[in-house]
Amino acid sequence: MMKKYLTSIALSIVAAISTYGADITLNGAGASFPAPVYQLWTYAYTQITPDVKVNYQSLGSGAGINQIKAGTVDFGGTDNPLTPEEQSEANLVQFPMLTGGVVLIVNLPELKSTELKLDQKTLSDIFLGNIKVWNDPAIAALNPEVKLSKTKITVVHRSDSSGTSFIFTDYLSKISPEWKEKVGTGAAVKWPVGIGGQKNPGVCNNVAKIKGSIGYTEYTYAVEAKLKCVTLKNKDGKFVAPTPKTFSASAAGADWENAKGYYMVLTDTEGEDSWPITGITYILIQKDAPDKEKQQALYKYFNWCLTSGANSASKLNYVPLPKNLVEKIQNDVLK
Amino acid sequence: MFATDNIFKTICLICAGLVGLLMIGFFVQLALSSVGAWKEFGLSFLWSSEWDPVDEKFGALPSIIGTLLTTFIALVIALPLSFVSAFYLVDLPGAIGKILSQALDLLATIPSIIYGMWGLFILAPVMQTHVQPFMVDTLRLGKVPIVGRFLGEDYNGFGFFTAGLILALMILPYICAIMRDIFAMTPPMLRESAYGVGCTKWETAKDIVVRYGIRGLLGGVFIGLGRALGETMAVLFVIGNMTQMPSALFDSGTTIAATLANNFPEAAGIQQSVLFALGLILLIMSFGIQVFAQWYLNSTSAKRGEER
């Protein structure tokens, strides 16, 4: 009896020490574009691995880059990829995590169940402020089945610096020389027209509130806010609706073998079903982290995200990376 | 006895000195952190209206003008309203006066983020669907020569006008509560004498109560002004966040505080320095207003017959 008692005490002490020793907290911060998935992952991972705690703060891509550079977090999230030079300069390793779509959302009650169609020219002209009302002949010609009213167009964009804005302005720069010259590509740009909303939810909210508005956001936010998405003409001249299927079609043709430092932008890709504004979101980690135990826990976590976590990402309308790319990352980085 | 006095004196000195030190510390830190921006753009930063993060060209003018404009709108709306309501509250007898007075104090304690949420979810849509269409399409104010120039014809519920309105509601309880307390301090004998020589209520207010409490009244105005200058979240939600020069009151724009809140988390390099420079400008603006208020009150005190 006494012996049993002692053993149980000894066992519980051992258990206490081992959990104490293995308690690791991994802190991450950055992009708000994949934040819904990251938050789901951190929760699910803590459930199955109680000794590792993962935190992710959705602060924006720029903040993620700044914080991982400063070393205040263990991993950073960004949609705005660092070039191979920038990576080696800051001694960081970058790899992709998820693919998602940036979609255009509109508040036009007269659309009812029909989709609004826009092509490259009308889209860039709307964001440049060249097209000011919805019944503009150029828009009407693309949408003969809808009777558009003379509602004023209100452009809604991000007021904060954002990786989503980077993906979107990168696309506009590719399809419109005028945009490229006047505005350019960036996480924050000099928007010619419109009003700014705070983060993805702020843009959705402003679009939901203002009649005649158009904005851009990550797909999941648009689905959650039940906002009407615009159908766009892609590089092959086909009109495509934003769905996980068209996002992955766009990602399918990417040449990862030759992408140094995983630097890749998936806007305006070829392919009949390709959604033109597809974005990849990246993870940044330090190349030679001093704490090896932490580094191993980090690798284990990302391995889990890329494999077991893929299913829950699909549920939130993101596209997990293709299998060969996951294997490449596992061999290159997470070993 | 002496020893304890000295200890007490030293403690008081340290505490009081800390306030001054903090004040100087803020100026020094903002100045040091913004050196990069001043070097890059020089003093023309103050009147440049360029804001292009891609080319890294920055100017402070749109934010400065936006801050002054929203504050001005807020004061124009809040001052007369709080003056008359404070004047009414002081003389209101019985339970209603007490309840309204309490309500006013409660209103002053509502956190600014609540005003912001209310502005975003209630005020901005109401402005877009009712107030602005009424002003522009029904009254056709946009076509009236001078007024139309100031209001503009394009509206979407967001912008300077809405932001000014929210600010007015936020500073109104502050100004009103201070004015009420100042009015209440007027010796009853002075008022009664005024009524006794045949003054109307308006004359009593204008010549006795306001004169007596001018120092406090201006103090209240400046507290409201200070709050309006630096208010961030409530403004950010409804101003539209466009870094551009305002051409009309219905335009979208930005203020210094909103620009800081929008860009600070992600800023690095020259942009961070630019934001610190904007912070310094805001601090100097608030500081300048306080200094001006003191100077004005002192230089006019003789005229009002105050003892020096």
Work out the burial of residue A277: count CB atoms within 10 Å of its CB; fewer than 13 is exposed, 13-18 middle, 19 or more buried: buried
Cβ separation B242–A187 shorter than 8 A: no
Q: Which ipTM was obtained for this model?
A: 0.79
Nearest-CA distance B42 → chain A (Å): 21
Give the integer Cα–Cα distance in Å for A325 and A200. 28
- The answer to whether the CB of A97 falls within 8 A of the CB of A319 is no
The reported pTM is 0.83
Nearest-CA distance B128 → chain A (Å): 8
At A227 the three-state DSSP class reads coil
Which chain B residues are closer than 8 Å to A186 by Cβ?
A: 53-54
Cβ separation B54–A189 shorter than 8 A: yes
Q: Is the pLDDT of residue B277 over 80?
A: yes
Whether A210 contacts chain B with CB within 8 A: yes
Q: Is the pLDDT of residue B51 over 80?
A: yes
Question: Residues of B at the A interface (Cβ-Cβ below 8 Å)?
Answer: 51-55, 120-121, 124-125, 128-129, 154, 156-159, 236-237, 240-243, 252, 262-263, 265-268
> Looking at per-residue confidence, does A13 or B122 come out higher?
B122
Which chain A residues are closer than 8 Å to B51 by Cβ?
A: 190
Give me the pLDDT at residue A12, please.
53
Q: Give me the residue from B52, B53, B252 closest to A195, CB to CB.
A: B252
Give the integer Cα–Cα distance in Å for B257 and B245. 16
Phi and psi at residue A275, in whole multiples of 5°?
Answer: -75, 130
Q: Fold for B34-282, please state it.
A: MetI-like fold (1.10.3720)
- The answer to whether the CB of A259 falls within 8 A of the CB of A329 is no
Q: Give me the residue from A188, A196, A206 closest to B242, CB to CB.
A: A196
Which chain A residues are closer than 8 Å to B267 by Cβ?
A: 62, 161
Q: Which amino acid is at B278?
A: L
Cβ separation B265–A154 shorter than 8 A: no
What mean pLDDT value characterizes chain B?
A: 88
Give me the pLDDT at residue B30, please.
94
Q: Which residue is it, tokens 């002004």?
A: B225
Which residues touch A139 (CB under 8 Å, ≥6 apart)?
A118, A122, A131, A148
Cβ separation A161–B267 shorter than 8 A: yes
Give the CA dihedral B177, B180, B186, B188, nearest 10 degrees.
-140
Nearest-CA distance A242 → chain B (Å): 27
Q: Give me the residue from B236, B262, B265 closest to A63, CB to CB.
A: B265
Residue A15 CA to chain centroid, in angstroms? 40
Nearest-CA distance B145 → chain A (Å): 23
Give me the pLDDT at residue A257, please.
82
Mean pLDDT of B226-235: 89
Strand pairing partners for B142?
none
pLDDT band at B294 (very low <50, low <70, confident <90, very high): confident
- The answer to whether the CB of A256 falls within 8 A of the CB of A262 is yes
Give the integer Cα–Cα distance in Å for B113 and B237. 9
Whether A39 contacts chain B with CB within 8 A: no
Whether A295 contacts chain B with CB within 8 A: no
Q: Which residue is it, tokens 């309501």?
A: B85
Most confident residue range from A161-175, B135-149, B290-304? A161-175
Give the integer Cα–Cα distance in Å for A244 and A275. 9
Work out the burial of residue A283: count CB atoms within 10 Å of its CB; fewer than 13 is exposed, 13-18 middle, 19 or more buried: buried
Give me the pLDDT at residue A6, please.
54
Mean pLDDT in order along chain A per 10 residues (335 residues): 55 49 81 88 89 88 87 90 90 91 93 90 95 93 90 91 90 95 90 89 90 92 92 93 91 82 87 91 87 88 91 88 88 83
Q: Give me the residue from A195, A205, A210 closest to B242, CB to CB.
A: A195
Whether A192 contacts chain B with CB within 8 A: no
What does the block give as tokens for A55?
A: 């935190």
- The answer to whether the CB of A286 falls within 8 A of the CB of A261 is no
Cβ separation A190–B120 shorter than 8 A: no
Q: Give how far Cα B40 sits from Cα of B36, B37, B277, Å.
A: 6, 5, 12
Work out the burial of residue A330: count CB atoms within 10 Å of its CB; fewer than 13 is exposed, 13-18 middle, 19 or more buried: middle
> Looking at per-residue confidence, does A251 or B143 come out higher?
A251
Which of B156, B237, B251 to mutate against chain A (most A CBs within 10 Å)? B156
pLDDT band at B155 (very low <50, low <70, confident <90, very high): confident
Give the integer Cα–Cα distance in Å for A134 and A155. 12
Give me the pLDDT at residue A19, please.
46
Residues A72, A74, A78, A82, CA torsion sign? positive
- The answer to whether the CB of B238 falls within 8 A of the CB of B162 is yes
Cβ separation B268–A66 shorter than 8 A: yes
Cβ separation A62–B154 shorter than 8 A: no
Mean pLDDT of B167-185: 90
Nearest to A82 by CA among A335, A321, A252, A283: A283
Give me the pLDDT at residue B305, please.
60
Give the integer Cα–Cα distance in Å for A252 and A322. 8
Q: Tell me if A2-99+281-332 shares its fold with A102-262.
A: yes
Give the integer Cα–Cα distance in Å for A263 and A5. 59
pLDDT in tens, B6-17: 999 999 999 999
Nearest-CA distance B53 → chain A (Å): 5
Residue extents of the structural domains in chain B = 34-282
Give the integer Cα–Cα distance in Å for A218 and A226. 13
Cβ separation B156–A152 shorter than 8 A: yes
Cβ separation A66–B120 shorter than 8 A: no
Cβ separation B241–A187 shorter than 8 A: no
Phi and psi at residue A79, in whole multiples of 5°?
Answer: -100, -10
3-state SS, chain B, equals: CHHHHHHHHHHHHHHHHHHHHHHHHHHHHHHHHCHHHHHHHHHHHHCCCCEECCCCEECCHHHHHHHHHHHHHHHHHHHHHHHHHHHHHHHCCHHHHHHHHHHHHHHHHCCHHHHHHHHHHHHHHHHHHHHHHHHHHHCCHHHCHHHHHHHCCCCCCCCHHHHHHHHHHHHHHHHHHHHHHHHHHCCHHHHHHHHHCCCCHHHHHHHHHHHHCHHHHHHHHHHHHHHHHHCCHHHHHHCECCCCCCCCCCCCECCHHHHHHHHHHHCCCHHHHHHHHHHHHHHHHHHHHHHHHHHHHHHCCCCCCCCC
Cβ separation A185–B268 shorter than 8 A: no
Least confident residue range of A178-187, A219-228, B141-150, B223-232: B141-150
pLDDT in tens, A40-76: 999 999 888 888 889 999 888 888 888 898 888 999 9
Nearest to B87 by CA among B225, B184, B208, B212: B184
At A283 the three-state DSSP class reads strand
Q: Fold for A2-99+281-332, please state it.
A: D-Maltodextrin-Binding Protein; domain 2 (3.40.190)
Strand pairing partners for B240?
B253
Question: Per the CATH hierarchy, to which homologous superfamily does domain A102-262 belong?
Answer: Periplasmic binding protein-like II (3.40.190.10)
- The answer to whether the CB of B156 falls within 8 A of the CB of A195 is yes
- What is the Cβ-side half-sphere exposure of residue A22, based on CA atoms within 13 angstroms? 12
Residue extents of the structural domains in chain A = 2-99+281-332, 102-262
Strand spans (E) along chain A: 24-30, 52-58, 75-78, 92-106, 117-118, 154-158, 195-197, 213-218, 228-229, 231-233, 239-240, 278-286, 319-320
Q: Give how far Cα A285 sits from Cα of A30, A41, A67, A93, Å.
A: 12, 18, 11, 5
Cβ separation B265–A188 shorter than 8 A: no
